[in-house]
Structure formats: C-alpha cells, structure tokens
Amino acid sequence: MSISIHITDDLYQQAKVQSKAELRTIPSQIEFWTRVGRAALDNPDLPIEFIRDTLVALDEENSAFEFVIN
C-alpha cells in the first residue's frame, strides 16, 4: 500500500542524495531513516551507528543472493 505524504524540499533533497549513495529509492531511504529513528528512540542506550548497522545487516540477511562456484 502506498500513501502520499508531504515532506519539506530540504528533506527530499537530502534523501535524494543519500539514496543514490546507498543504492535505495528515495521512499526507501526515508523509510530506512524512519526505522533507524524509531529504533533509536526505543533503545536510547544503543549507539546510533550500531542501530544503523544492525538494520542494514537485517536487510541484507533478507536479500537473496546467488553463490557461483567456478
């Protein structure tokens, strides 16, 4: 399901730049930032870098990839 929301032009531009660097779509980048922020609020004793890296690892774990043996 997709829902339209209004965000500032500045936030959009930041997400556009970061999404290219992290190979995400702009909506996916904003969703990722939201997940990091929510996890940080739920776990204030954890460093933000740890939260970010953990969420990235969880996303990678769910991604299918193929091993090629030569």
Q: Read off the pLDDT of residues 1-60 as tens digits, 9 standing for 90 and up.
A: 788 999 999 999 999 999 999 999 999 999 999 999 999 999 999 999 999 999 999 888
Domain assignment of residue 36, yes or no = yes
Domain assignment of residue 34, yes or no = yes
Domain assignment of residue 19, yes or no = no
| Predicted local confidence at residue 36, as pLDDT | 96
Domain assignment of residue 48, yes or no = yes
Q: Kindly tell me the sign of the dihedral angle through the C-alpha atoms of 29, 38, 63, 53.
A: positive
Domain assignment of residue 29, yes or no = yes
Q: Which of 38, 9, 39 is nearest to 26 (CA)?
A: 9
Q: Which amino acid is at 38?
A: R
Domain assignment of residue 30, yes or no = yes
Domain enclosing residue 53, as ranges: 24-60
Domain assignment of residue 42, yes or no = yes
pTM of the complete model: 0.77
d(CA 34, CA 24): 14
Domain assignment of residue 69, yes or no = no
Split into its structural domains, the chain has a count of: 1
**What is the separation of C-alpha 57 from the centre of its chain, rounded to a whole number of angstroms?**
11
